[in-house]
Structure 1
């Protein structure tokens, strides 16, 4: 590396070390060390700015990072910034890994340190999230795995990054993820550039142990916490612990250490393990890597194969942590635990982490013993039944003379529900329980199938994640205002078909608008169509396809939940003027937001809610249909309506009982 005072502009009298005026007559460009011609600034942040530059000696493009607006710095600040820049170059130079930015050179000039790095044609993860809102689970897992592999190489070089966040992860179009910006990294033997006891970094990503009395300071575990925050943000669209200042974030960590996971799916155990507040109990890098590979190796997860291929693991994959026990990389049933009913913070997460290790160990022992454990656990998806049943999923064995029950092979009934629909299915944060019509129905079905309340586990699902939760076997049933449609029953190769029992309720269609609109007067749905104002609905709902055909103007991008639409409707800066959904869902939002929103008259059409399940599960469907017949024939259905829905719609009399058309033949 260089340590030479050689930088300037053309014509400043520094002999031939600098470029002359360009032939095209444009102003001369800065040339560093007579070699690196700065072309355009491509990024800035903190104390640094990054330029695209031309390496004249090797005739290639590179990225050159220098101090930002150094003339405005005080001498002390400038000295600190230069020392940090030297440390950044030294830290990166210690690491050679596909998922870590490569440093080519370092050049020092008067009051400036230039770091020459490989030019990456990529966007930051922060930019991707700003554009897309959230990432699909396979893509987030692929990016997370690569960042983790890069971090393992960083930590093996005795370096701690200290600022892992979406803005410091670049993602190329081919899926390759690269960890960048080692400006505040620390490593063994590095000179201190901050006061003893001070904590630097981005508040939302700082690990809680950094603020503990007698804190050891940044460690690899604190980098893993930041990775957990980054993964949470990638799949949930927000950071897990809100706050602009450090004290705000840490107070939220202390008060609510178990952030709710709505869309993480099979990534939930990884994220929860990385966000354990005690660094001694937090997932180690080796285990986290194995778990991420589990997610990507699951052929049932849509897009997992393509995302896994994009990771391009290097031959010199991460250096193993000698202090960590060997972790088997085997396919296990990585199912996210119930994200909204955690036990006390540390103990709950610790048990989830250990349960994964136990599951992996069980698989390992079973395989070594030649027990054929993985074959015996076949679920029988889509008519290809596992050896466990010998026929269709859950059916009795031939010649047994008895009909096997679903509970015989599924001791816990896993049910996907929503958590943001008052009256239907709402999660109470104080009591940490679900309440509503769908919940009562779920318990009634479970009771009919022989399950007690303690044998029913709820998992939160969003509108666009319901079929995925079934396909990936996170849940057995979905009872979540799931409208029965032919498209959902016969999805093409790009989708996933589901089977239904029901319908158990028929809802009308409608719109929700602001109580008072500053710009337009909206009296009925025709006003929405005539004015051309934006309508919001949940992604992959029936309204997303139907309303544009009826002449309504839809919001440019649809969120994952109706609650997100409601938030947009209530935002005075938003262009959304209406939310399209089922009347019973909208009625719940009106009750929860008195004086703020109102319903328009219902429009033509109805939504029949069904109990969804995986295709090829005749035993399960038979038992659910039997339960629904009993519920609809007696007073249970009417009592559930009066208890949960009559107050919302203002009608004590329940609607007509639907015909169980999806249960014919079962």
Structure 2
């Protein structure tokens, strides 16, 4: 992008946007524009204004795409309210361009602080991590993935607060990105390996990026130092992180966050607890390296910290070194494909997910559930009453081979997944069905549903993408459904789980407003655990 000339500054600094925001002087130059100090003459306060500027010879369609992306960034950030997320005050369209009005922060970016001064002590870096991790949790809860967590997008204020900025390439639930070609813009040093391979990624990808950012904060270099973006991309995909030398107690936490396997990364809760202890200069609990995990490839995970239940067959132990060496070797193939055609600033990758790896030792023979299971018999009414206190009878079979328990305003359902329920098929085939169900659970903002038996009329809703669910079957994931109109509250949570050769979906619905979001999520996951326990008992009984 061209520099702002003295004449341009002289001309622009007298400009008033929307009759109230007077541009004063430029504060910083970015990849797509300039951030200005401005005076809000209506509220009599100083603000920051992000100007989106492009070369005049850029084709009209590309200009429209960039401006649409800027408006999208503002809309995403404006819906997030958190002390460690930049506050968006207003969006102004002037001269056929968007101008984003933000809170004015005083301080410096983490990148500039470390580069121009020195790396942060581990305690200070942990404090930065606590704030940004909390911001990411808030963003993810609102259905937003940041996708560009890096030192340049973390601002350290003079009061000591860390603030997450720049949602320019974030994605929200409902975005139609699957199957489309997309561009990863930014430094590959801070992009999670699964996203460099072309996957959409998830909260666990933001966690990896935060780990890389905190690594830079204490070490002064990224975890995969390289001279060029192409070299960095190759190293992230094919090499382990450089062992930290200055991180102290923070080192084990960072190495877990930077695990190339999404399923091997710790949960957000585990990281938050460790960072809080380090930030308080207290000895953190041991943060062990993960065992050599059985199961899917890095592309197969659905969320941060996902673990496999104890009942999963263990593969022959190749030793942790050999296991990791196999991972790096496999990643080299992806690296070769990714590097071809890449440039120093932009990496072109497809958004399609790679083929799913089948967990080790899944049988091809018919599984334990060779005939249809009476799903109503899995949950006695007395147990279901814990979730539906007004229930007066047993569950009722559905025309799809499932079962449902209903009261006014609340409902619980257990349905076989897939068109034929996978009755009598093998665990391997059931795993493939499970993967298909999970891949189909993409964020969607255009859902219409009704359930007359619980007094739920026709409703407009939006669903989240898949999230990890622990201790429910041999594989499991969940997703939530929020009301689009009026309250925007969570009304349904679904958990899909696999036990042997059977895949079922458990749903808990509350539309009468008597349960908040966490209670609905907890109810669905509790019911899924009950179902998994009942199926395992049937399996053991033969």
TM-score (norm 1): 0.40
Bigger Rg, which one? 1
Which structure dedicates a bigger proportion of its chain to strand? Answer: 2
